[in-house]
Amino acid sequence: MNGSDYRQSLSDASRFDGTETRFSAWTPVTNKACNQQLFQERTSLILHWFDLWTDRQRKEFLCQLLKRCSKTQLKFTRDCLAESVPITQMDFTAVLPRFLSLYIMSFLSPRDICSAAQVCWHWKFLAEQDCLWSPKCIRLGWFLPYSPSDHEYGAWKRHYVACTASLDILTPREAAGVYGTLNESLTAPEEQQDIWREHKIRQTIRQKVAEHKSECQGSSISCTVHPVKSSYRPLPHFLLVSSSVPGYEVKRLSVVVLPYDSQGMTLEALLSLAERVIQGRMVQSLGILVTGSTEEITLTDGLSINEKTVLKPCVRKFWENLCGWVVPASEGGSLNIFAPLAASGRVCLKLSILTGLNVRAPTGICTGSYQHIFSEWSGSGEFPPLVYLHESLLLSWCRQAEWIEEACKDLRKQLGPQLHFMCQEIRGRILGKSEIKTYDADRRSDLCKELLNSEKTYVRQLQAVATVYYTPLRAALDSNRAIISSVSLITIFCPLLDVLETNNVFLKELTERWEEWGPLQCVGDVCVKFCTKLRVYTNFFNNYATILKTIDKSREMLPVFRTFLKRHNRTVATRMLSLQELFLTPSARVEEYVTLLQALTLHTPSEHPDYTQLSSAIKGHKASYLYLKQQNICSALYADNLVEESRYLITRQDVALLSCLNGDIAASLRMYEHVSDLGLFLFNDALVLTERSGSNVPFCLAVNTTHTFLASVALHCLNLTELTDTKYVRNTFQLESPKRQWICATDREEDKIRLLSALRSAIKAAITRN
């Protein structure tokens, strides 16, 4: 064989090996068709072997196979398993942190928590945590007589079960047999028998509860080694004060008081507010300070409690829950109503039967504004007004209206002939031109000292504007991190800084004169010198309206400036005043200058060298004060009349309109931006939303509020959703109409409770009508 034949045989062999080799121990790479056929045949063989293996062998094979896979192959396996075996149910306690699992379980009722404890041992451990059961016990007034140790679990649950087992609870069927149903019509004798039967049952329950509490207290006292008698605190008295009665300022400090707005308030919201104030404690007595007559009392606007309405389901539930925090009548518990209900006695009798307490009310035999409070009260015991209210303040408060009425009668008779003489007499006393003149050197010193001290306070307020507001804003502007523009900074602060500079000089000169004070010392020349510089006040008053407009415009258009004001307004450095209120001090100070200088002139003899100078200073300050009065223009608030013949206003509330920045994440992590301020006007058939904007009025504390119509939603088309409080936002709720939705927030939780309760009641009534 020659060389050419040998090379030809090698090339044929290589071609045959690359294209014709089959069923060998290696997989051909160059021929894709053969490679795919061989892969399918070997896969069929492996699957045939896999079918013949046992379950343990299959699992071992899968483990070995998954260990050899890369990350991308493992992800592909996971996706395939998720499609073939989707996860429809999962134990949330296994994937969520423990505090989130407990937070979810806190919304369950006690019966549902006990059912959840039967799922598994882990659920049983979570269901017995004290953080779930202690709020439920405290809300009902059931307190542990000891503090559980760190490793003791289930103490509050056992205490809840023990307290529940000691109560006489009726099943719905038993309760229907005892009380009857709400739709059952009863005759008058049957209704009276039903009321007395209910009274006996409640009295029996209270006696058993009192016996159980006394036994528990006796056992705890017997087990105590060193009882401390000084730690005992008497039970507080609880007082409800309606906004229609101005009696909050006369109550005692030891009384737990709940002042509430009667407009737009519902019984459910009032009960919720009372629950938050009492916090599960027992009270010795309950006082109701509202308007009323001999036949009824008015707890809220539109709801009167009388003989017919006291047995309504909602009213009945309110009194039962509210009086449930009062100790039994055997321990001195009482219900005191500051309305002359005892004159008739029928409403008091029904309330006494309903609540099981001693209901006391004034007989109402005294006349005058609220004079019935001092009349004889029904029942026996301590005089109720002195339990809740201060005696001296109560006397003045009750007689104030009567005094005003008598004074108005006398003034009507004497107004014509005496007005001119009285005005001249009062003006003469103020200006020091009375016929009887008295001069007191000590009084003159006191007035001069008052002028100096008030000037120091005034300068400190002006200095607070420069230190708290102007200096940081100027520093931010100089460092190229401007909060407001240079023009706005000059417009707002320059007129006031000129006033501050002038008053600093005046204060320095007053201080020097006071340090050398004597009977012949003069301050009039200093005041006259100060009057020559009052043009800075004129400049400030001319630019005052522009200053307020610049502040309001910058606050609305610049979120950084709005945040700056929110951080620095009403702090200790600003004496709890805002920037706009601090700008009001110069106008008030001009009026004070006139009053102080007039008083100082009154106590300065005419032969004193300072008399002439003080008179000249009064003239200068009066001219400035008259110019200020000419610049004081009050703007009127105009609004569309939304009240129609068949429509009435229930309540209104100012809220903040929020915008969710990231709605695709969990609700607890969402952040909101304050977009604008809204005004909600709730009518009996619609909810009107307006965009609210405010601007400060020059020379006074008033704020002009303008409402621009935004939307009107019929109540039967409105959906209300209460949002859960998070660490980013509180007191929020969502209003949704068929076309739009609004996320709103109130400043206080009390406002939210009152508004949502009124909204739910109005929506329910609107749906019933339609």
Tell which wins on pLDDT, 678 or 225: 678
SS3 714: strand
Beta bridge partners of 692: 677, 707
Token pair recorded at residue 310: 């006291």
**What is residue 389's DSSP assignment?**
B
CA distance 526 to 536: 17
- Structural domains in the chain plus CATH codes: 3-84 (no CATH), 97-165 (1.20.1280.50), 234-399 (no CATH), 441-631 (1.20.900.10), 649-769 (2.30.29.30)
> Pairing mode, if any, of strands 649-660 and 672-683?
antiparallel
Integer distance in angstroms from the first to the last C-alpha of the chain? 111
Least confident of 180-194, 458-472, 510-524: 180-194
CA distance 185 to 187: 7
Would you state the pLDDT for residue 448?
86
Q: Residues 241-270: pLDDT tens digits?
A: 887 665 545 556 678 888 888 777 888 888
Which residues have a Cβ under 8 Å from the Cβ of 291 and sit 6 or more positions away?
242, 244, 245, 297, 298, 339
On the question of pLDDT at 613 being above 90, the answer is: no
Token pair recorded at residue 670: 């969402």
Which residues have a Cβ under 8 Å from the Cβ of 96 and sit 6 or more positions away?
104
**What is residue 639's DSSP assignment?**
-
Q: Per-residue pLDDT averaged across 475-503, rounded?
A: 91
Which residues have a Cβ under 8 Å from the Cβ of 269 and sit 6 or more positions away?
753, 754, 756, 757, 758
**CA distances in angstroms from 500 to 458, 533, 578, 597, 735, listed in the order given:** 9, 12, 18, 20, 49
Tell which wins on pLDDT, 573 or 23: 573
Q: Residues 721-736: pLDDT tens digits?
A: 999 888 888 889 999 9
Do the beta carbons of residue 153 and residue 128 sit within 8 Å? Answer: yes
Would you state the pLDDT for residue 253?
64
| Alpha carbon of residue 602 to chain centroid | 50
CA distance 422 to 297: 44
Token pair recorded at residue 698: 């020059």
pLDDT more than 70, % of the chain? 76
> Pairing mode, if any, of strands 237-242 and 285-289?
parallel
Beta bridge partners of 713: 687
SS3 287: strand
Token pair recorded at residue 233: 């605190």
Would you state the pLDDT for residue 732?
92
Among 368, 375, 376, 373, residue whose Cα is nearest residue 400: 368
Q: Residues 3-17: pLDDT tens digits?
A: 445 444 444 444 444
Token pair recorded at residue 767: 């749906």
Q: Per-residue pLDDT averaged across 69-77, rounded?
A: 90
**What is residue 377's DSSP assignment?**
B
CA distance 438 to 38: 128
Would you state the pLDDT for residue 189?
64
CA distance 195 to 227: 43
- pLDDT tier at 433, thresholds 50, 70, 90: very low
Token pair recorded at residue 481: 């991190």
CA distance 488 to 205: 72
- Plot region of 641 (φ>0 → left; ψ -120 to 50 → alpha; else → beta): beta
Q: Residues 544-557: pLDDT tens digits?
A: 888 999 999 998 88
Do the beta carbons of residue 237 and residue 283 sit within 8 Å? Answer: yes
Do the beta carbons of residue 237 and residue 255 sit within 8 Å? Answer: yes
> Pairing mode, if any, of strands 334-337 and 285-289?
parallel
Among 627, 550, 617, 622, residue whose Cα is nearest residue 583: 550
Token pair recorded at residue 410: 């006398």
Tell which wins on pLDDT, 173 or 425: 173
- Plot region of 632 (φ>0 → left; ψ -120 to 50 → alpha; else → beta): beta
Helical spans, DSSP H, in 465-534: 471-478, 486-515, 524-531
Residues 705, 707, 712: CA angle, nearest 5 degrees = 155
| Alpha carbon of residue 742 to chain centroid | 19
CA distance 739 to 744: 17
Do the beta carbons of residue 280 and residue 417 sit within 8 Å? Answer: no
CA distance 138 to 134: 6
Token pair recorded at residue 420: 């001119």
Q: Per-residue pLDDT averaged across 200-229, rounded?
A: 62
Do the beta carbons of residue 46 and residue 58 sit within 8 Å? Answer: no
Q: What are phi and psi of 13, to 5 degrees?
A: -65, -40
Do the beta carbons of residue 137 and residue 113 sit within 8 Å? Answer: no
CA distance 724 to 735: 14
Token pair recorded at residue 680: 């909600």
What is the strand order of the sheet 237-242 is part of? 256-260, 237-242, 285-289, 334-337, 358-360
CA distance 201 to 207: 10
| Alpha carbon of residue 714 to chain centroid | 27
Tell which wins on pLDDT, 759 or 35: 759
DSSP states of 647-709: --EEEEEEEEEEEES-TTS-GGG--EEEEEEEEEEEESSEEEEEEEEEEEPTTSS-EEEEEEE
> Pairing mode, if any, of strands 703-714 and 719-722?
unpaired
Most confident of the ranges 222-231, 298-307, 552-561: 552-561
Tell which wins on pLDDT, 219 or 522: 522
Do the beta carbons of residue 583 and residue 513 sit within 8 Å? Answer: no
- pLDDT tier at 20, thresholds 50, 70, 90: very low
> What integer best gives the mean pLDDT of the chain?
77
Query: What pTM did the predictor assign?
Result: 0.40
Most confident of the ranges 224-233, 390-399, 621-630: 621-630
DSSP states of 289-327: E-EE-SS-EEEETTEEE-TTTTTSHHHHHHHHHHGGGBP
Q: What share of the chain is helix, strand, coil (3-state, %, to 5)?
A: 55, 15, 30
Q: Residues 402-429: pLDDT tens digits?
A: 555 455 555 554 554 444 344 444 434 4
Q: Find where tokens 């449930």 sit.
A: 324
